[in-house]
Amino acid sequence: MNSRPVVALFWEGLNVLKTGRVMLGETNPADSKPGTMHRDFCIQVGRNIIHGNDSVKSAEKEISLWFRPEELVKYKSCAHHWVYE
């Protein structure tokens, strides 16, 4: 994370950890499925372009490293009631 500029994102939503991990792919790009970020944009594990957490606990810890509580904005999409029960 110190070899290039970093963009920190905080995602939230139903099953966001599982969904995020599917989008990222396996840690080793060679083991990832086509269409995932690791498979399409990475070559070696040591030159990873993206990081995602594997648990709520680790996500909470890392979110606190990047963001102050007042920087986290609550957002509810206008389509929320069409998507969620």
For the question of residue 51 being annotated catalytic, the response is yes
Tell me how far apart the alpha carbons of residues 82 and 59 are, in angstroms, rounded to a whole number.
28
From the candidates 38, 51, 80, 81, which is the catalytic residue? 51
d(CA 80, CA 29): 34
Structure tokens at 42: 């990475």
By annotation, the residues acting in catalysis are: 51
